[in-house]
Amino acid sequence: MSQRKIIHVDCDCFYAAIEMRDDPSLAGKPLAVGGAADRRGVIATCNYEARAYGVRSAMASGHALKLCPELLIVKPRIDVYKAVSRDIQAIFRDYTEVIEPLSLDEAYLDVSDSPHFAGSATRIAREIRRRVSQELHITVSAGVAPNKFLAKIASDWKKPNGLFVITPDQVEAFVAALPVSKLHGVGKVTADKLGRLGIRSCDDLHGWDRLALVREFGSFGERLWGLARGIDERPVQTNSRRQSVSVETTYEHDLPDVTACLAQLPQLLEELDRRMARLDPSYRPDKPFVKIKFHDFSQTTLEQAGARRDLDSYGLLLSAAFARGNKPVRLLGVGVRLHDLRGRQEQLELFAP
């Protein structure tokens, strides 16, 4: 197999950058895009001036204002952000059709077979960055590497407005020095467990064989073994499919107990049914799930295979999830995991005689 050439492009504080572009008076000031503090709003994103005060995405707007009293919070303009995202995607398509959007402001590009710039992924990334800046007046950071895992790390290496390249012959040394917390899929719990085992860098992981990691971490141990060696065979997916459909609400006042939470279920399920009705027939509903974010921002999600998708079944899931924290609740969500029937059909056709 020929060596892949992957670019990960990530817009710099995307929503905030568009707001500063469209209203230059906001530039240079601490700025966030999100909900109002007096309505239990949450920060969607913020510029780098705000980040210097400790403001972060997903933070309560009220807390953000305590950290930075001068913070300007503007209401999101999602339609504008979507339009700019489409313009960015159009620039991508001038260089490759193998594009995997992760969100409005982030995507993987496989340029392995691109004829542009004599096949140089670095020059393609540089040109994409130049065009986004010149045509759309915002900045993006990009990472170039032989796989998705390393390209994503590289795009963050020189943020904002940076380009970082990891060539195939640099992979081994680069990965060896990486903290394990940088590995895809390693969250705080896994990082803490790795630390207790004396594993803090990928170089430390090299001392563990594959089977030992599988015994400690289950199937994820296999993934750890590969990532610690810079191995990631995931292709860039040009046709990503839904894995779930859900609806959630942040409440202006905390829901004090499980009874108050259960009282919100009918309205949530009514909206979920509306969203389910808009799905195309290539999906089949599977496991129901509930999500709870408590007043201290800790959260839990609970799902159950084989459960029905009626009010009583969601009520049982919600009660069990609430018992995990037993604290006032700021956000409730309900949803359904989806089974992709189209993928199953394609697999059957592939193996048909």
Residue 49 annotated among the catalytic residues of the structure:
no
- Quickly count: other Cβ atoms within 10 Å of residue 345's Cβ: 11
Question: Which among 19, 49, 100, 106 is annotated as catalytic?
Answer: 106
Which three-class secondary structure string do you get for the chain?
A: CCCCCEEEEEECCHHHHHHHHHCHHHCCCCEEEECCHHHCCEEEEECHHHHCCCCCCCCEHHHHHHHCCCCEEECCCHHHHHHHHHHHHHHHHCCCCCEEEEECCEEEEECCCCCHHHHCHHHHHHHHHHHHHHHHCCCEEEEEECCHHHHHHHHHHCCCCCEEECCHHHHHHHHHCCEHHHCCCCCHHHHHHHHHCCCCEHHHHCCCCHHHHHHHHCHHHHHHHHHCCCCCCCCCCCCCCCCEEEEEEEEEEEECCHHHHHHHHHHHHHHHHHHHHCCCCCEEEEEEEEEEEECCCCEEEEECCCCCCCHHHHHHHHHHHHHHHCCCEEEEEEEEEEEEHHHHHHHHHHHCC
105 is known to lie in a ligand binding site:
yes
10 is known to lie in a ligand binding site:
yes
Annotated binding site for Mg(2+): 10, 105
Residues serving a catalytic function are 106
Annotated binding site: 10, 105
